[in-house]
Structure 1
Amino acid sequence: MTSSTTLALTGVTGALGGVVAGHLADLAPRLLVRDPGRAPSIDGSEVRTCTYGDAEACLAALEGVDVLFLVSAAESPTRREEHATVIDAAARAGVRHVVYTSFEGAGPDATFTLGRDHHAAEQALADAERTHGMRHTCLRDNFYLDVLPLFADDEGVLRGPAGDGRVAAVARADVAEVAARILRDLVEGGAAAEQHAGAVYRLSGPEALTLDEVASRAGAHLGRPLRYEQETVEEAYASRRAGWPDAQQFELDAWVSTYTAIADGSVAEVTDDVPRLLGHPARTLEDVLGPSLVE
């Protein structure tokens, strides 16, 4: 690949993709969005409209693209089909390399139920490589450090069946920085690009925390009393159904399995991929929370 490589980014109106777009603004990436009115303003960037489930729109939007950053689709009953559609469109459009945001422990029987969707997407990428030669890189992110304190309700209580399990949650900023580093390597080409072909990067934070530790440390940093309260799986389903009576079963399963994945150790491993790729330590919970509100 050369400096004329065309880079396309999805998810740029979201919390992750928007940061990646900012890191790569000097490359004037093509921005693929559902709503062009929400696309960030980047000098020289072209905006194309498509949804993952619309094969022809994706094919047109991806025409001439060499490298694609594919942020996983929003959770829905059709998520796997949407991923398969956009991946197939990318392969047919001649995209050479896709960088996909997957999840730690992605697999057909992942405890975190949405991890099974990511496994299906990874399989679709592998199929596209076999049939079309389209390379891919998977970023298997752990849960986001940024989100964990938001599990707390209005009373400052994090409730769920996580037991004493640990989670090596990662800062969203670190994931965005890793993605931008890899995408820049792919655009610039050479040996740096080759190392990412077929790579699976497991992105974690610098430590594995229990939810008791998350609550106490976040609370101390924010000057707000937070605590973790254990639930059984049955209690967790009941409380979510009561709080969100219109929720679909897949949403309930995802919410509850967030905690059971912590309980069974599925998301507890600390990896070195973030510091190895970025050359600096992964951000801590306190780093993510920003300046302390407690003097």
Structure 2
Amino acid sequence: MTRIVISGASGDLAGRVTQQLLAEDPRRELTLVTRTPAKIEVEGPNVSVRRGNFERPELFDEAYRGGDILLLVSGLNLGRRTTEHRSAIDAAKRAGIRHVVYTSVGGVQPGNPALSAIDHLETERDLRTSGLAYSILRNALYAEIVSAIWLAPAAREGVLEMATGYGSLAPVSKVDVARAATSILTSPDRHVDTVYEITGPELLSMTEIVRLGSEVFETPISYRPVSERERLAFFDSVGMPRTYDPDMPPNPEGHMWASDELVSADLAVARGYQALLSGHVEQITGQAPASLRSVLESVKGLRYDRIGSAS
């Protein structure tokens, strides 16, 4: 039987994948790798929990031992995570892992201004030259982020101000990202050396997204594009750090991103790097992805860090 290794196992996305894998087969052979093993509350006769930490890459040799396929959930340390991912890929090779499924971001290509895309581009290159089979999931912006981080605060203020210009995107639910990852992990031979754009079912303009938000939150919301400088100034005014720090406290909306990452992601939307729509979720899973409206309705009013238990 194939043993699946899940990195970042105490995180939301990895937790969803773990739950789906065990729901399909309670006897699934799983190794759950996390920096916080005490947070793992998963039971199964063939489930192993091991300590692993991007900041201590020497742990990965033992953590990945005996595994066949690895779900490598990307880290959060901007600028440093390319080295962290490289260490994890090298450890996977030494441990005998044959296939890596990697969570990247939509629109990865040279020139994309999003700091996350710059990091993911480098890791994608490392995977292609690793000698391992790979499947890359280029995940569009999570629809849950649109709800909790964009629209919920805008509903309170009556306006959404972002540096996204008049760009378009196709937000995808975390549920669908997890379903796609689960399908690949259980049928890896069908997905050798593949790159998928994991999007929702609709390419929406910022104006259309705000219109949906007004309808679901039942309050008028307007959209006002702002400059990069104005967006950074707003984040400065509310005390958000410019640079990511793993020890910083969560934002009141329930996330741990710094303003340089958020604003660079805005610019990627404005410049068309997120204007992507694919049928890959349905091709992989056999089921169409959820619409943005349905996700907004299901998670409306929830903080981002509380959505995992409700969606």
Q: Shared fold by TM > 0.5?
A: yes
Paired residue for 2:15? 18
Q: 1:241 to 1:199 in 2, by over 3 A?
A: same
Count of residues paired in the alignment: 279
Indicate conservation of the 8 Å contact 1:18/1:40, yes or no. Answer: no
Cα distance in 1 between the residues matched to 2:219 and 2:36: 37
Aligned residue type for 1:144:
Y
Matched, 1:251 2:250: no
Paired residue for 2:6? 9
Aligned residue type for 2:20:
H
| Structure 1 residue 57, shift from structure 2 partner | 0.4
Matched, 1:271 2:261: no
Cα distance in 2 between the residues matched to 1:247 and 1:111: 16
Matched, 1:68 2:70: yes
Q: Structure 2 length as normaliser, TM-score?
A: 0.84
Indicate conservation of the 8 Å contact 1:53/1:82, yes or no. Answer: yes
| Alignment deviations for residues 170-191 of structure 1 (CA, whole Å, 9 cap, x no partner) | 11111100000010112xxxxx
Aligned residue type for 1:151:
W
| Alignment deviations for residues 163-206 of structure 1 (CA, whole Å, 9 cap, x no partner) | 221111111111100000010112xxxxxx1x311100111111
The RMSD of aligned alpha carbons is 2.0
| Alignment deviations for residues 114-161 of structure 1 (CA, whole Å, 9 cap, x no partner) | 1011111112212211xxxx2111001111111112224352532211
* Secondary structure of 1:123's aligned partner: helix
* Secondary structure of 2:104's aligned partner: strand
Matched, 1:262 2:259: no
Cα distance in 2 between the residues matched to 1:258 and 1:76: 13
Cα distance in 1 between the residues matched to 2:43 and 2:159: 41
Matched, 1:286 2:283: no
Paired residue for 2:137? 139
Paired residue for 2:82? 80
Indicate conservation of the 8 Å contact 1:53/1:81, yes or no. Answer: no
Structure 1 residue ranges without an equivalent (≥5): 187-192
Paired residue for 1:151? 150
Q: Percent identity?
A: 30
* Secondary structure of 1:267's aligned partner: coil
Spell out the pairing of 1:160-175 with structure 2 (5 A cutoff).
160-175=162-177
Indicate conservation of the 8 Å contact 1:178/1:277, yes or no. Answer: yes
Structure 2 residue ranges without an equivalent (≥5): 245-256, 301-311
Indicate conservation of the 8 Å contact 1:110/1:116, yes or no. Answer: yes
* Secondary structure of 1:13's aligned partner: coil
Aligned residue type for 1:7:
I
Paired residue for 2:34? 33
Aligned residue type for 2:68:
D
- Which is further off, 153-162 or 31-40? 153-162
* Secondary structure of 2:11's aligned partner: coil
